[in-house]
């Protein structure tokens, strides 16, 4: 969880910097050091409680990376820049999931993981966790990353309604958290199937 959240926030900061906004970099957030990204509750407390109480859902978050869209380059609109910066987080988790699958497949192809159940468990958890983080963060509910695409693409005539919906974001997030298996099972199943096919290809199965 710590590795996945750190890479997720680093990807936000890196993309913002490439688009011209160095706010995160100046605040020390353009780093793979997990400490600047840690949120005491979301990164430490909740994951720890889920380990102590196995029935509790495993969930967490890191400190959001600050982004100032007014500092983007002139050739990048604020809406597009925010959407691209937001997309970088879930994209980094997808990349981690496929990297873990590649290591898993190569480990089986060359017989490295046959007697390494702990490494197999770690790579399996990395695959699943990063897919969940990517898909969950793409849900268009503020402050999740998917909401940035709505901000960018929504026609102006619907903006007032969208802003009204945003007022209920905390309640929508709570509902999504409890109903996540229902809403995310379809996308998660498709993503898992694709990842398994990639793993099998790498493993030579």
SS3 of the chain = CHHHHHHHHHHHHHHHHHCCCCHHHHCCCCCCCCHHHCCHHHHHHHHHHHHHCCCCCCCCCCCCCCCCHHHCCCCCCHHHHHHHHHHHHHHHHHHHHHHHHHHHHHHHHCCCCCCCHHHHHHHHHHHHHHHHHHHHHCCCCCCCCHHHHHHHHCCHHHHHHHHHHHCCHHHHHHHHHHHHHHHHHHHHHHHHHHHHHHHHHHHCC
Is 193 noted as a catalytic residue in this protein? no
Residue 190: both structure tokens together: 């498709």
Which among 9, 25, 193, 196 is annotated as catalytic?
9
Instruction: Supply the residues annotated as catalytic.
Output: 9
């Amino acid at each position: 969880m710590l590795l996945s959240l750190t890479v997720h926030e680093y990807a936000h900061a890196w993309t913002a910097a490439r688009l011209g906004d160095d706010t995160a970099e100046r605040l020390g957030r353009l780093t793979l050091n997990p400490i600047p990204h840690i949120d005491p509750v979301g990164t430490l407390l909740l994951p720890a409680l889920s380990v102590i109480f196995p029935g509790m859902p495993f969930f967490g978050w890191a400190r959001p990376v600050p982004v100032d869209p007014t500092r983007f380059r002139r050739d990048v609109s604020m809406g597009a820049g925010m959407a691209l910066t937001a997309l970088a987080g879930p994209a980094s988790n997808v990349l981690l999931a496929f990297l873990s699958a590649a290591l898993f497949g190569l480990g089986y192809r060359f017989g490295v993981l046959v007697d390494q159940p702990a490494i197999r468990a770690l790579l399996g958890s990395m695959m699943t966790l990063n897919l969940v983080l990517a898909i969950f963060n793409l849900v268009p509910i503020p402050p999740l990353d998917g909401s940035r695409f709505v901000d960018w693409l929504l026609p102006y005539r619907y903006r007032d309604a969208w802003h009204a919906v945003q007022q209920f974001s905390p309640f929508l997030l709570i509902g999504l958290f409890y109903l996540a298996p229902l809403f995310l099972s379809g996308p998660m199943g498709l993503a898992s199937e694709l990842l398994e096919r990639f793993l099998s290809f790498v493993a030579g199965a």
